[in-house]
Chain A
Amino acid sequence: MTTATRALTTVSTSRRRRRVKAERYRYNTRAGKVFDVFNVALLTAIGLIALFPFVFVLVRSFAPEAELESSSFFLWPKAFTFEAYNSIFSTPAFPRALITTILVTAFGTVIQLFLTVLMAYPLSKRGLPGRNIIMSGVVFAMVFSGGMIPTFLIVKDLGLLNNYLALILPLAIDPFSLIIIKNFFQNLPSELEEAARVDGASDFGVFWRVALPLSKPVLATFALFYAVAIWNDYMSPLLYLNDSSMWTLQMFLKQVTSASNLQSAQQDQPGYVAPSEGVKYAVVVVATIPVLIFYPFLQKHFAKGMLIGAVKG
């Protein structure tokens, strides 16, 4: 062990000892202990409240219809059944909505991320003439919009009503994500670009072979954010899809869960069958699971993504 390392170790141990002492001072009063117990209990309760609806819905989706209609509270059903899942997957409407949503989400994420990255890269070049004008345009679009109706009319005039592109294109580039990705490109070391240039790469070559491979983790993060946004989108299908055979999962979910609680136009139609209670729970579970599956990946990155979100450039 060299002298330098030994010195470093000594410093760090003494610092740790001091911190431990301070910690003891900080917390070991009686009031402090009472507070700690109270705090642990409260935060556990808060965590459970966040969790409760999921458990509640998951358990009930497996409960038999009779038990659901008895309207008593239970956290564990007397019997388990797949009745509700069988029934939603045996109708044509639900699997169709599910597959539609998966496809729209997959294609939409690719298109949106591609457009965003393609625009973000040139904007990260400080010397590019016209860059500032475009950036101001992007920022202005963040704070001002023409509103729902003019956007709807533009989409309609483009012939995109009842077209899945209407769920993808109008929200293709999120200005916030664009600016964060732009800032990321801006902070890439310029030596790499110069090296590639010496090897004869064009601007596009540098982007394709140097910048993109380096930004894979960032792009993965934003792909997830875009995917969740498309998956969760309710407003776009509500505005742009009139044909109920084209409905996405969220439209289907809304229709099924609000049925029979409230009067809706559909209920007055002949041949309408109100969904059973179990079906509602099963649909909610199926719509939630994909987000929960991707959640660990999202969680790994979102805090970072949110904190580098300072919109400066």
Chain B
Amino acid sequence: MSIQKLDTATESLLVHETGSLVRSPRPRRWLATLNRYKWFYLMLLPGVAYFAIFRYAPMGGAIIAFKNYVPFLGIFGSQWAGWQQFEQLFGGPDFARILSNTLILAALNLFICFPLTIVVALLLNELRLTVLKRSVQTLIYIPHFLAWTIVAALTYLLFAQGSGVLFNFFNGVFGTHVDFLTSPGWFRPLIILQSIWKSTGWGTIIYLAALAGVDPNQYEAAVIDGAGRWSRMWHVTLPAIRGTIVVMLILSMGSILNTGFEQIYLMTNSLNRGVADVFDTYVYFVGISQGSYSYATAVGLFKAIVGVILIGGANWIAKRLGQDGIF
């Protein structure tokens, strides 16, 4: 501390001696602070530049949602268009379809993947064979680290018409001729299957950590009170992870519009686009593929703003319930 003070003293002395900015004390103090922390500010510079260029400049660039962007004129040169893009979005035929596709996938995720993760975590917790428990954990965490391209490739290879093993199996057993990869009715089940395979195992980590913290004395006490296995799970185990479940639930509500671009994009084709288009992929198709930059930006901006409101709301609810929020 004293060294720091000494530093500052020497620095202000130096400033005095060189005679720069001796006129008013305020900018001098400002300069002294800058000098005192010069290394830190220097180290911050690349990172701040990164956030300015790749995170905040695009936020500014999102004003083209209110313009008619023409590549030749650039972001600033293009003509203002007011709410035209948003009117096109809300008045157009696509909006209801995209919103419902997104919400249906989110709901399926919430009602299938979310509870499944908790169930698997509870089952793992009941497993006493440590070797088996470790091996199962090792296996079910792996898919999390694989690219969506690999997940999609596996899906293609398993379900492809003609050569796919599961294609032949199901159609053989049920005597049908369903082409899973292009049939709109099978799009959502395939997506949910992929999500289950890829993220259920990984999702158990956070619950298992909470379960590891349960005091064994509580189980003993429950046994003495005559609790069976089921009631121990209901009265001891579940309450122990209730907080975690609430936080995870709230977080998933907050990110309800984030269906993930890569997974959906890789499973989309011209035959299932009616049910496959969600906000993220729709932005890509109309923006990058068709070049309607302003309209696509408006769609993205709508999604981002609703997303901020949802996350902020979720965080607020978490705090009201006495949980730690995310910020």
A contact set with B: CB distance below 8 Å: 18-19, 22, 25-27, 29, 31-32, 35-36, 39-40, 42-44, 46-51, 53-54, 56-57, 60, 68-69, 71, 73, 115-116, 118-119, 121-123, 125, 128-129, 134, 137-139, 141, 143-154, 157-158, 169-173, 178, 197-198, 202-204, 207, 228, 231-235, 238-239, 250, 253-254, 257-258, 261-263, 277, 280-281, 283-284, 287-288, 291-292, 295, 298-299, 302-303, 306-307, 310-312
Contact = CB atoms under 8 A, between A and B. Distances in A.
B9 interface: no
Nearest to B217: A22
A170 B37 CA distance: 28
- Interface size of B as a range: 35 or more
Contact of A154 (B57, B133, B168, B270): B57
Top 7 closest pairs, chain A to chain B, by CB: A119-B47, A146-B58, A147-B300, A150-B61, A232-B147, A203-B39, A122-B40
B121 to A, nearest CB: 11
10 contacts: A25-B220, A47-B140, A69-B163, A143-B307, A148-B296, A149-B293, A204-B42, A254-B149, A261-B181, A310-B324
Contacts of B160: 261
A284 B74 CA distance: 41
Nearest to B221: A22
A143 B304 CA distance: 8
B111 interface: no
A231 B139 contact: no
Q: Is the interface of B mostly helix, strand, loop or mixed?
A: helix
Interface string B293-327: 10011001101110110011000000000001011
Interface of B: 3, 33, 37, 39-44, 46-48, 50-51, 53-62, 64, 69, 74-75, 120, 123-124, 126-129, 132-133, 135-136, 138-143, 145-150, 152-154, 156-158, 160-163, 165, 168-169, 181-182, 197, 201, 205-206, 209, 216, 219-220, 223, 228-229, 232, 261-262, 265-266, 269-270, 280, 283-284, 287-288, 293, 296-297, 300-301, 303-305, 307-308, 311-312, 324, 326-327
A141 B327 CA distance: 13
A201 to B, nearest CB: 10
B160 to A, nearest CB: 5
A143 B311 contact: yes
A36 B128 contact: yes
Which of A116, A146, A202, A277 has the largest count of B CB atoms less than 10 A from its CB? Answer: A146
A25 B229 CA distance: 10
Given A29-B228, A122-B40, A250 B205 contact: no
Contacts of B40: 121-122, 125, 128, 203
Contacts of A146: 55-62, 300-301, 304
B126 A35 contact: yes
Contact of B201 (A50, A147, A197, A291): A50
A118 B46 CA distance: 8
Nearest to A121: B43
A139 B300 contact: no
Contacts of B136: 43-44, 46-47
A291 B58 contact: no
A152 B288 contact: yes
A250 B147 contact: yes
Contacts of A150: 57-62, 64, 297, 300
Contacts of B146: 232, 288, 291
B73 to A, nearest CB: 12
Given A147-B304, A148-B300, A122 B150 contact: no
A310 B147 CA distance: 25
Contact of B43 (A22, A122, A148): A122
A113 B56 CA distance: 20
A169 B266 CA distance: 24
Residue from A18, A22, A125, A263 with most neighbouring chain B CB atoms (10 Å):
A22
